[in-house]
A and B are shown apart, each in its own frame.
Chain A
Amino acid sequence: MSDRRHQIALLHIATPEGVTFSLPLAGPVTRGLAFFIDLAVTLAIQRVVMLFVAVVSIVAPDIGGFGAIVIQFIIFNGYSAICEMLWNGKTVGKRVVGIRVMDERGLRLQPHQVLIRNLVRFVDALPIFYALGGAVCFFSPRCQRLGDLAAGTVVVRNVKIIPPNVEGIVGERFNSFRQYPHLEARLRQNVSAEEAQMALSALIRREDLESESAVRLFEIIAQRFRSVVNFPDEATFGLTNEQYVRNVMDSVYRKAK
């Protein structure tokens, strides 16, 4: 299982801004699981609705019969499409399993895409038990079934991003860098994620370090950040290397107000 984790297919999306990001794709098994949950949900909905229809049928059997046929048709054909349209690409099953439908180019998911991917489902289910769709999904580089291919959608796993608690580490102290938003912006742009992560770890372990090695460590890190962006003397006057790193971290990780 752990071996398999390294082989998880990724969807790479390159934005016009030159940023590339990757999302883990959902495989046939995960999607099958979501499908079975959705099947149970649709059957439950159908049961409940049919109770109401049965009540109507006592008064007006013909209208009740019409309702039974049309409502069941809508439930079984439209459940996924309606959920995915209203719920940002998720059905109940997908939500439980932790996956969602998205546009394969990372654009906003359009209602017509959701409609087509669900109407084409019929072909994916051929000849029995989603054999065709499952096979296509298994061999597709983006784990797409035919419906996804036709609609230009993919199913991805939700990635939980836990932002670092920077306020707790850096503290709400005065940061002289904040007076230079353009330099802060350059800092955010040019400091790599690894560098920022390392500097943050150094601040977290500040108390565990020998004072001498701490001084040396923060000197190296501050030196690195100074080479990235040069703040004017007014901003850096009297700052120790450690305070300098704290300020940089505040500038990089601070949430936009």
Chain B
Amino acid sequence: MNKERMESFEHHKTSFSGMLMQNNISVSIRTMALGLTWGLGTALMLFYNGVILGGVCWDYVSDGQTKFLLGWLLPHGSVEIPSILLAGQAGFVLARAMIGWGTRDGLRSRLRAITPDLATLIGGVAIMLVWAGIIEAFMSQYHEPLLPYSLKIAFGVVEIIVLTAFLQFGGRALERKEPLP
């Protein structure tokens, strides 16, 4: 980024974060909704995003800029990438209900059973993406010498650990209270 653009960015961080939130949440909603195409659309969406991201990453890694790349992407990517994956999960939950594997229930009952889960998943994804949008605009775009890469990478790693712990252990207490099926 040259100096002029950097300065113009300085004055648009907030709207930039809004743009990121809007775009990412839209993509997530679409990824979930496309579960209705028996998961084909969801898979395509995930594949496309994965290829783009993978291509960019490979470009930097092959150039020997792995540290910069991690420092740039991890602070927001460690929340953003899991959230698109969760949106994909919501899409496949919906797709599974559409297809009806492993159950004798009719289509309507199958869909009825998963609607609350879809709402929970997409709601959680939206919250995560608001966080990711703030971090991406206000932290990820600052590099050395202002922000050391090691600090940014450490921040990203902490986010991954916290998120994993939450997804692993969150909701356990609630589950225990419910009677066994």
Contact = CB atoms under 8 A, between A and B. Distances in A.
B100 interface: no
Contacts of A152: 108, 111-112, 115
Most interface-central of B14, B19, B32, B122 (chain A CB within 10 A): B14
Given A112-B116, A151-B115, A122 B29 contact: yes
A120 B94 CA distance: 11
Contact of B118 (A64, A67, A104, A112): A112
Contacts of A111: 119
Given A112-B119, A150-B111, A151-B115, A66 B18 contact: yes
B15 A119 contact: no
Chain B, interface residues (CB within 8 Å), range: 20 to 34
Interface stretch (B33-41, B76-84, B144-152, B173-181): B33-41
Given A119-B33, A122-B29, A123-B33, A150 B17 contact: no
Given A66-B17, A104-B108, A152-B108, A119 B32 contact: yes
Interface string A90-134: 000000000000001000001111011001111100000000000
Given A70-B21, A146-B36, A150-B94, A112 B115 contact: yes
A111 B120 CA distance: 11
Contacts, number: 81
Interface residues of A, number: 29
A150 B12 contact: no
B13 interface: yes
B12 A65 contact: yes
Contacts of A122: 29-30, 33-34
B128 interface: no
Given A120-B33, A150-B36, A73 B25 contact: yes
Contacts of B17: 66
